[in-house]
């Protein structure tokens, strides 16, 4: 297995080059706080991440939040990971839809590389005042891989140095209830026992900075809570420097 990973990482294929870039970036010493290039009086965008089990309502709420912020005249974009429009993302999509098979370590590195290949664009958007509402981020990558039995610290390692979210909203739902929602089971990870393991791993990553919302509440109640949290974060982060993920861990 290690030889297979070495071949992938050291090879000259697009995947090999992308993973080499990912690992090289992750191994560099990145300052915990990223200095703002613009004037200190220019407000930056805010990185807002929604996390939770499959079918908890993240995608719906991301769309609603983007529409709400647009309605207030704020520059905002909707992002999601994995980004299936890149070469790496298409490989991930093939794996998730059971059209290909990959080693657990290899797919984890692909998920991480997918975030790293968007990092520079993400930083540029944030520095120039665009708020990003992101459907899944590093917490999903780590939780889903650790749920397979991989060491959680090993899973976190390639994520270190990515931009840290300003706000993480976790939509909390019991795996059994999520499984009863429409469309469940169409992708590889939508299996009840596996989702229970993912929920456990999320709890390990959960810290005081997370905002937890009961995903069983009416949609408009969830929407209103997220809107309030987002506006509060946008206000408090205007002069706050960007920071990086898990470098102090």
- What confidence tens digit (pLDDT) does each residue in 23-67 have? 454 445 445 566 544 444 458 999 999 999 998 999 999 999 999
Domain boundary assignment for the chain: 48-243
Residue 187: pLDDT over 50? yes
48-243 homologous superfamily: P-loop containing nucleotide triphosphate hydrolases (3.40.50.300)
**Residue 220 burial by Cβ neighbours in a 10 Å radius (0-12, 13-18, 19+):** exposed
pLDDT value of residue 185: 66
- What confidence tens digit (pLDDT) does each residue in 61-88 have? 999 999 999 999 999 999 999 999 999 9
pLDDT value of residue 163: 98
Rounded mean pLDDT of 171-177? 94
Q: Which residue has the tokens 């520059």?
A: 75
Q: In what order do the strands lie in the sheet with 76-80?
A: 76-80, 131-135, 47-52, 167-172, 210-214
Band of residue 194 on the pLDDT scale cut at 50, 70, 90? very high
């Amino acid at each position: 297995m290690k030889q297979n990973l070495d071949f992938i990482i050291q090879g000259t294929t697009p995947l090999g080059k992308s993973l080499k870039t990912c690992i090289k970036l992750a191994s560099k010493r990145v300052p915990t706080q990223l200095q703002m290039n613009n004037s200190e009086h220019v407000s930056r965008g805010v990185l807002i991440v929604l996390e939770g089990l499959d079918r908890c309502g993240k995608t719906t709420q991301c769309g609603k939040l983007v529409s709400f912020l647009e309605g207030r005249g704020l520059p905002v974009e909707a992002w999601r990971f994995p980004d299936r429009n890149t070469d790496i993302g298409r490989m991930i999509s093939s794996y998730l839809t059971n059209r290909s098979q990959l080693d657990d370590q290899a797919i984890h590195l692909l998920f991480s590389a997918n975030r790293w290949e968007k990092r520079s664009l993400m930083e540029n958007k944030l520095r120039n005042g665009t708020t990003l509402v992101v459907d899944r981020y590093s917490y999903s990558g780590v939780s889903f891989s650790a749920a397979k039995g991989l060491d959680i610290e090993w899973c976190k390692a390639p994520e270190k140095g990515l931009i840290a979210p300003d706000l993480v909203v976790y939509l909390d739902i019991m795996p059994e209830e999520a499984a009863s929602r429409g469309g469940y089971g169409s992708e590889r990870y939508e299996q009840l026992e596996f989702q229970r393991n993912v929920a456990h791993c999320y709890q390990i990553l959960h810290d005081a900075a997370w905002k937890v919302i009961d995903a069983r509440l009416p949609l408009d109640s969830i929407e209103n809570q997220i809107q309030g949290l987002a506006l509060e974060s946008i206000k408090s982060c205007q002069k706050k420097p960007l920071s990086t993920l898990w470098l102090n861990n």
